[in-house]
Amino acid sequence: MISLVDDESLRRALELPLHQKLIDLIRRRRAILGDELPFADMAHFVVVEPGDTIDAVEAVIRWPIRPDPDCGTPQWEWVLVHDDLCFETVFVLSDDGYAVVLFVQIAAGMDPELIGMLRAFCT
């Protein structure tokens, strides 16, 4: 799991050997946020990798990923699929718009429960 919590961690992550399309997507999402505030005040990006469990991701983002057990409604705003690259999902955590964005790679070894949920709710 790659946790991007500020501009420095974002810069370091973009130097990792990630798929170029994923790097481009992360750059686009960062650009959308603008530069009026530090990245740390606007969002937390997480690249979910093979072997990462839902519980591990929830521990990092400190927010539930699984849908509400009483009504089955997911906690995220939306889910997009980017070809065979990744799922992208956004959790808006506060009224000021602070968000957690997950980039869940589509690859062997991914948590089947997480991939199944994202596929089921993908728009």
Domain total in the chain: 1
Q: For the purposes of burial, counting CB atoms within 10 Å of the CB of 38, is it exposed (0-12), middle (13-18) or buried (19 or more)?
A: exposed
Output the pLDDT for position 71.
Answer: 84
pTM: 0.95
Spatial strand order of the sheet with 43-48 comes to: 2-4, 43-48, 99-105, 86-92, 78-82
Q: Which residue range is the domain that position 70 belongs to?
A: 2-121
Instruction: Please list the rounded mean pLDDT of every run of 10 residues in the chain (123 residues).
Output: 97 95 97 94 98 97 90 90 96 94 98 95 83
Output the pLDDT for position 108.
Answer: 97
Output the pLDDT for position 52.
Answer: 98
Phi/psi class of residue 62: alpha, beta or left (left: φ > 0; alpha: ψ in -120 to 50)?
Answer: left
CA 114/CA 66 separation, integer angstroms: 8
